[in-house]
Amino acid sequence: MRKDRVKILELVCTAFHVAAHCGDRHITKLLLDHSANINQQALDGSTSLYVTSDDTTCVLLGRGANVAARDNRGRIPLHIKVREGRLFAVQALIEKDSPVNLRDHQGVTPITSAVIHGNNVLVTELIHAGANDTQGFPQRRCVPERTESTGGRNCKIFPSCTLLSLFPAVVLMLYEH
């Protein structure tokens, strides 16, 4: 491959990004052992933690990858893993104290993404990790704050607009939380 093409490829992503994405623990560890920059950003601002498989997520987190590194859109790896529905990676990021209430440039938090994608399991994980910033929720059909279905209690997470019609199990779980 010509040198100029290699340089362009390095700008888009690094060899380390490719190894992490492919899930090759051996190559990932080998690159880290030979001074690969674990937090090197690609052209879009993402680090290798944004593209990891479940196998390499643990390797990177164990070696100190930055869980709060933002890409050019203001997202952190947790935003990406939630959007992809990757429970194991979300749990691993939360264990390493990934911020659970950070907004991206569009105002979306990880819990917003989990609810929009209908992933009740990830919503539960994020709530248990302290996620509570739901100002980025899209406005849907609003319901009164005090209803018979909630026993007259106000919802802790959705104070003025719930997604009851879309995700009843999530909303009921939030009332019990």
Tens-place pLDDT, residues 113-137: 999 888 999 999 999 999 986 554 4
Q: Is residue 143 part of a domain?
A: no
Residue 8's domain is classified under what CATH number? 1.25.40.20
Q: Is residue 29 part of a domain?
A: yes
Q: Is residue 5 part of a domain?
A: yes
Q: Is residue 75 part of a domain?
A: no
Instruction: Flag whether pLDDT at 53 surpasses 90.
Output: no
162, two tokens:
């719930």
pTM of the model: 0.71
Q: What angle do CA 174, 80, 175 make, to 5 degrees?
A: 0
Cα–Cα distances (Å) from 109 to 21, 52, 112, 135, 170, in that order, read 24, 20, 5, 9, 16
The domain tally of the chain equals 1
CA 50 centroid distance within chain: 9
Residue 174 is which amino acid? L
Q: Which domain holds residue 37?
A: 1-66
